[in-house]
Structure 1
Amino acid sequence: MTSSPVTLDGRGSRIAQHEYDALLGEVTRWVRGPGEEWADRIEQTGTVPAELFDELKTHGYLSMAAPPELGGRGLSFPQWMGLMEVFSRSHASIRMLVHVLNGTWRAINPHVTAEQRDRFVRPMVAGDLLAAFTLTEPGNGTGADLTCTVRCEGDVYLLNGRKHLITFGVSCDVWLLFARLAGTTGKDGVVALLVDRHAPGVQVDDTSQTMGVRGTDHASLTFTDTPVPVDRRVGAEGDGLAIALGGFLTPSRISVAMSCVGLAERAQELAVEYATSRVTFGKPIAARQAIAFMIAENEADIQAAKQLVLHAAREWEADAADAATLSSMAKMTAVDMLTRVTDKALQVHGGVGYWKTSTIERVYRDARAQRFEEGTNEIQKTVVARDVFAKARERKSL
């Protein structure tokens, strides 16, 4: 069921409220039940089992945000954010899977040919093809200063350069990779390519030993004259940066911001449970003003960030001009909130929270990743400040 025409990035799709409420309840039960069991297994083994991926796929949790015509569930973006909030209370690798699989298709679908849509987009939505977003490079930022290059020889691009911090870069089927045409500068020379994971001339270094988000693999990639067929280019030459920033990063930053909200809610839940059960001098520590004030501050912090994230989600769905700036505002606000909340939640637990036997220890480690996922807070502040000053110049010129 849709309430308006659906765009190629999924805007306009929506399911009925009663259907959404039932789905929200289902996901909540899964996160609290099987999701916690999977979390324990991931922490023990350091890997995400293939059976978990299959279970998420079977439940349809990897294809909820896409419109029905692509094989998705057809949730609106704010509806999807409501479910992202719940998934983020689970293990960080579970959140990462549903976040990436429900978002990567959106970046390329407006730009692909009909043949590419059948070959790549529909399998992405179905969970049959895992695409790793491959933008970040070790020697520069993650924008128009890319140094990974391609040169065209006939019907093939030859790719050279390095990428790093690539989530799912080891286990993916394709890299959704951004490079520049050799000899060009600026955004107009950037191309988007779907590079086969097993293409020749690629060195894949597994860099998965991280502080948190255990189980999710990460890679450093080196390309040496790696051949990429021209028919695997997404959009036209010069469209790459728009695909990366507008098609993926803007909604993805909002999604990461909501993941901060969900994880903060989990930290708060654990803090409240501990504060009401831990007794000192004949009273639960929840009765101590110092503890109660930390809980109160956390609750207000979470709710304030959540409302900004939802506002950004609605503005992105409406294709508002300030959606990109709001996505950066939402992420930087939610990340700072998560840092404060998890720190206080761990403090409520005292020394007990420092041990790996406490769930809050895992939550505290996982929370650190969001501070650089989809761009550091310093990048988000740069985006917001640039917009503020641009608007000030416009007002001055009126």
Structure 2
Amino acid sequence: MNTSATKTSTVTADGRGSSVPEPDYLALLDRVTSWVQGPGEEWSGRIEATGTVPDDLWKQLREEGFLSLAAPRDLGGTGLSFVQWMGLMEVFSRSHASVRMIVHVLNGTWRAMNPFADEAQRQRFVLPAVAGETVVAFTLTEPANGSGADITSSVRRDGDTYYLSGRKHLITFGVRCDYWLLFARLEGSTGRDGTVALLVDRNTPGVQVEDTSATMGVRGTDHASLTFTDAPVPVGNRLGAEGDGLAVALGGFLTPSRISVAMSCVGLAQRAQQLAVDYARQRTTFGKPLASRQAIAFSLAENAADIAAAKALTLTAAAAWQAAEPTAAALSSMAKLTAVDMLGRVTDKALQVHGGIGYWQTQPIERVYRDARAQRFEEGTNEIQKAVIAREILGGAAG
């Protein structure tokens, strides 16, 4: 008897246990690939020319269902397994970095909210976010602190209202969002036990928003620096209990998000490699195609091996998280660390294959090269990833 055929899959609050039949998934993968290679390329040109992401692109992504792919069906999502979702992220990441950023963020923030939301909050915040009708900006990083228990933005409670003061920066979609999913601490507290997670309305009084979108790459994605001065936030907008703030921020969100960033590195590296291969085949020097030069061929071979290794590790991490294995957090950091370093090597070699012309904005590799550098900062630097990995391998010895 095949017991697996009779097993009932349980979908958790973060979507683990959900999946779609393989034929449906392959059809969806084909549709995403066609969009990335067709309309996605047209949007890329418009974004680079204007430096902004048009509202029409957000609308198209929503209408295509691309903002609701990763969530389970009971939240209005497509119900992909996490490993299936990573296959789509690999493809989306070959598109413009702002397209990838929109799809990555909007398919991820529900993971932080849903496990801690009550039913009223689920209806008000989670379901509209999954549908792509509202944009929730993850708001953790501060200019004078790291991205953990050392946050100093604080709230004081007066009845049914928190009054929020502090600063946040490098907040993706912090300008155009509908809500900031913001992490602060109770006034006078220290450590993780004093942290709270709040959904702060974008139009809350007492908030100063500075647009800081002028970046090296990922053009079109807005970023914000935020200053809060006694900004009122209803207690009803708190996710979980007082003291759950970092659990909301890090618990069900950070591990899968790091794996998603790792797969984004794989997809972007594949795009860089394909551009280099195409150029090497077309470019002729001294009467021979560039691809016939051993130095070029070896660089492309190294890239191919590098990409395959990073992809394999990322899929291992994705499967571990999907199965709720205890090694998933460390594997996610290993995957991101490895994939980020791989992407740097691959894009550098891919640009070098182009020679000097690769430095010009007329060449697609120039944008890919710029966008690749941003991956080092998403969901923690390489140094943070090493600390997570070291804690895992040394934990037993340290008692």
User: So what's the TM-score if we normalise by structure 1?
Assistant: 0.98
Match of 1:48 in 2: 53
AA partner of residue 109 (structure 2): T
Match of 1:334 in 2: 339
Report the Cα offset of residue 393 of structure 1: 4.0
**Structure 1 position 34 matched with structure 2 position 39:** yes
AA partner of residue 279 (structure 1): T
2:221 counterpart (212, 216, 224): 216
1:232 counterpart (234, 237, 245): 237
Q: Helix, strand or coil: the match of 2:215?
A: coil
Match of 2:147 in 1: 142
Runs of 4+ with deviation above 6 angstroms: none
RMSD: 0.9
**Structure 1 position 57 matched with structure 2 position 57:** no
2:385 counterpart (374, 380, 388): 380
Instruction: Kindly indicate whether the alpha-carbon contact (under 8 Å) linking 1:3 and 1:14 is maintained by their aligned counterparts in 2.
Output: no
Instruction: Kindly indicate whether the alpha-carbon contact (under 8 Å) linking 1:163 and 1:220 is maintained by their aligned counterparts in 2.
Output: yes
Q: Distance in 2 between matches of 1:290 and 1:156?
A: 65
AA partner of residue 56 (structure 1): L
**Structure 1 position 281 matched with structure 2 position 286:** yes
1:92-146: CA deviations, max 9, x gaps? 0000000000000011101100000000000000000100000000001000000
Match of 2:354 in 1: 349
Q: Distance in 2 between matches of 1:188 and 1:270?
A: 49
Match of 1:79 in 2: 84
Match of 1:178 in 2: 183
**Structure 1 position 311 matched with structure 2 position 286:** no
Identity rate of aligned residues, in percent? Answer: 72
Q: Distance in 2 between matches of 1:283 and 1:164?
A: 51
Match of 1:95 in 2: 100
AA partner of residue 128 (structure 1): E
AA partner of residue 283 (structure 2): R
2:174 counterpart (164, 169, 173): 169
Instruction: Kindly indicate whether the alpha-carbon contact (under 8 Å) linking 1:3 and 1:13 is maintained by their aligned counterparts in 2.
Output: no
Match of 1:132 in 2: 137
1:144-192: CA deviations, max 9, x gaps? 0000000110000000000000000000000000000111111111100
Q: Distance in 1 between matches of 2:156 and 2:109?
A: 25
Match of 1:156 in 2: 161
Match of 2:257 in 1: 252
Report the Cα offset of residue 3 of structure 1: 6.0
Q: Helix, strand or coil: the match of 1:147?
A: coil
Instruction: Kindly indicate whether the alpha-carbon contact (under 8 Å) linking 1:130 and 1:172 is maintained by their aligned counterparts in 2.
Output: yes
Q: Helix, strand or coil: the match of 2:396?
A: helix
Which 5+ residue runs of structure 2 have no aligned equivalent? Answer: 1-6
**Structure 1 position 243 matched with structure 2 position 248:** yes
Q: Distance in 1 between matches of 2:229 and 2:286?
A: 67
Q: Distance in 2 between matches of 1:3 and 1:353?
A: 53
Q: Distance in 2 between matches of 1:270 and 1:208?
A: 27
Q: Helix, strand or coil: the match of 2:341?
A: helix
AA partner of residue 337 (structure 2): M
Q: Distance in 1 between matches of 2:294 and 2:244?
A: 56
User: So what's the TM-score if we normalise by structure 2?
Assistant: 0.98
Report the Cα offset of residue 319 of structure 1: 1.0
Report the Cα offset of residue 54 of structure 1: 0.5
AA partner of residue 234 (structure 1): L
Instruction: Kindly indicate whether the alpha-carbon contact (under 8 Å) linking 1:246 and 1:324 is maintained by their aligned counterparts in 2.
Output: no
AA partner of residue 273 (structure 1): D
The count of corresponding residues between Structure 1 and Structure 2 is 393
Match of 1:390 in 2: 395
Match of 1:192 in 2: 197
Match of 2:3 in 1: none
Q: Helix, strand or coil: the match of 1:191?
A: strand
1:202-245: CA deviations, max 9, x gaps? 00000000000000000000000000000000001111101111
Instruction: Kindly indicate whether the alpha-carbon contact (under 8 Å) linking 1:339 and 1:368 is maintained by their aligned counterparts in 2.
Output: yes
**Structure 1 position 322 matched with structure 2 position 360:** no
Q: Distance in 1 between matches of 2:72 and 2:247?
A: 22
Q: Distance in 1 between matches of 2:246 and 2:226?
A: 20
